[in-house]
Amino acid sequence: MEGRPLDDQALVERARTGDVNAYEALVQQYQQLAFRVAYQVTGDAADAEDAAQEAFVNAYYALGRFRPGAPFKPWLCRIVANEARNRRLSAHRRIALAERAHQAQASGEAAPSPEAAAEAGEFRAALLDTLARLREDDRLILSYRLFFDFSEADMAEALKVPKGTVKSRLSRALTRLRAALPADFQIASGGPVDG
C-alpha cells in the first residue's frame, strides 16, 4: 500500500478475499458518515454507534454479494440505515433528539453579532427542531443530499429507489419540511405567509 491510498474499489476487492486491514481502511474512511447517517435515524448516540458498528460487521460478511464495481458508500449507508431502523427510537426519544438539537444550538456557537445573527440562530434552531420531527425517510433523503452531498445516483442506491424518483422525493421532503416549520419561518425574509 505504498504511495497513494487505495480507492474504495481496490479496498473492497482486497476485503472480499479476507484482508482485514483493507476493510479497516474502509471503516476508517466511512465511520463518521455511517455514524451520522445512523444518528439521523436513531437520534441517539449509543444506538447510532451500535447500528454503525453492526452495519460495518454485516457489510463485511455481505461483501461476497456486493456487486463488483458498484459504489461502496451508498451500499454501506443502506445497511447502516436498516440497522439504525432496527433500533428505532420510541417517540419520546425522538423528541429527545429535538430537545438536544435545541440545547446544542442554544449553548453552542458564539453568535457572530447582533439581531441578524440571533434571527439566523433561531431559524437554524427551528430547522433542527423540525427536521428531528420529520418522517425518517424525509430526514434521510434531505441529509444524504444536503448534509452529506450525495449524488442522485448514490441517493437512489442508498435509498433503494429508482433513480428517476429521487428528485421528486427530495422535493416532497422539502415541501413537508417547510410545512412543518413554525409559521414565522415559512417565509423568505420575514413577513406574513401569503395566501
Partner 1 sequence: MAESQRLTEMELERALRELGPRYPYPPTPNLAVAVRRRIVARPVVPVRPFALWRGPARLALAAAVVLVLAGAAALINPTTRDAIAHFFHVPGVIVSRVSPLPSVSPVTPLNLGRRTTLAEAQSAVSFTIAVPATLGAPDAVYVATEVPGGEVALAYTPRLGFPLVKQTGLGVLITEFRGDLIPEFLTKEVGPSTTMEETSVNGDPGWWLAGEPHLVFVQVSGTDYQVQLRMAANTLIWAHAGVTYRIESGLSRADAFRVAAGLP
Contact status, residue 72 vs residue 12, Cβ threshold 8 Å? yes
Q: How near is the Cβ of 73 to partner 1 at its closest, in Å?
A: 15
Cα atoms found within 13 Å of the Cα of residue 111, Cβ hemisphere only: 15
Contact status, residue 115 vs residue 190, Cβ threshold 8 Å? no
Which is nearer to partner 1, 9 or 109 (by Cβ)?
Answer: 109
Q: How far apart are CA 125 and CA 120, in angstroms?
A: 9
Which is nearer to partner 1, 126 or 156 (by Cβ)?
Answer: 126
Q: How far apart are CA 180 and CA 30, in angstroms?
A: 32
Q: How near is the Cβ of 62 to partner 1 at its closest, in Å?
A: 10
Q: How far apart are CA 8 and CA 2, in angstroms?
A: 16
Question: What is the number of residues in the chain?
Answer: 195
Which is nearer to partner 1, 1 or 153 (by Cβ)?
Answer: 1
Q: What amino acid is encoded at 141 in this protein?
A: I
Chain contacts with partner 1 (rule: CB under 8 A): 1, 14, 16-24, 27-28, 31-32, 34-36, 39, 45, 48-49, 52-53, 56-57, 60-61, 63-64, 100-101, 104-105, 108-109, 123-124, 127-128, 142, 146-148, 171, 174-175, 177-178, 181, 185-195
Reading phi first (left if > 0) and then psi (alpha if -120 to 50, else beta), residue 181 is in beta
Closest C-alpha among 98, 93, 91 to residue 47: 93
Which is nearer to partner 1, 103 or 160 (by Cβ)?
Answer: 103
Q: How near is the Cβ of 189 to partner 1 at its closest, in Å?
A: 5
Q: How near is the Cβ of 90 to partner 1 at its closest, in Å?
A: 19
Q: How near is the Cβ of 40 to partner 1 at its closest, in Å?
A: 9
Which is nearer to partner 1, 15 or 156 (by Cβ)?
Answer: 15
